[in-house]
Amino acid sequence: MSIQVYGCNHVAIEVGDIEKAVSFYEDVFGLKKLDEGEGDAFFKLGEHQFLAMFEREGMQPDTSDRHFGIMVRDESQLAEVRDKLTSKYGLKLIQGFRCDFRDPWGNRIQVVDLYDESLIWLLPYREVQHAGIQWNQEKPPSSK
């Protein structure tokens, strides 16, 4: 029997203050909270994925390139995220990327829009179909 992977179920991060982290991720990304407990919280992240957060006292910020990506609809939403991060939260964007940043606890996040990805593999996703985005192949030059 060969293994069939259907996607990524969840991403888990650690934060220094769960209440502040919940507020931050709800505000910046408009994420819907699924559940929470003492020292943890879970957010819907797309159709079948979720983001898990766990509070850790005395945690040290991650300084590696390890990260996860969040996909938003388009350039205007990407700009809105960049503006909120820099203006409201005073966070710095990581140079050389459209919208990479470290959250207040040092977790590196990369934000892309649907056009950053190949719509060929995104089209089956219901989120993309509901967004009304269509993939248009360039037509070859007409011959005269």
Say if 78 falls within a structural domain: yes
Say if 123 falls within a structural domain: yes
3-state secondary structure of 82: helix
Pair type for strands 50-55 and 40-44? antiparallel
The pLDDT tens digits for 60-69 are: 877 888 899 9
Indicate the pTM of the whole model.
0.76
Q: How many domains is the chain built from?
A: 1
- Return the percent helix, strand and coil in the chain, to nearest 5: 25, 25, 45
- Computed over every residue of the chain, the mean pLDDT equals 83
Helices (H) and strands (E) in the chain, counts: 4, 7
* Domain boundaries, position 85: 10-55+67-131
| Residue at 59: amino acid letter | M
| Residue of 46, 100, 55, 95 lying closest to 73 (CA atoms) | 46
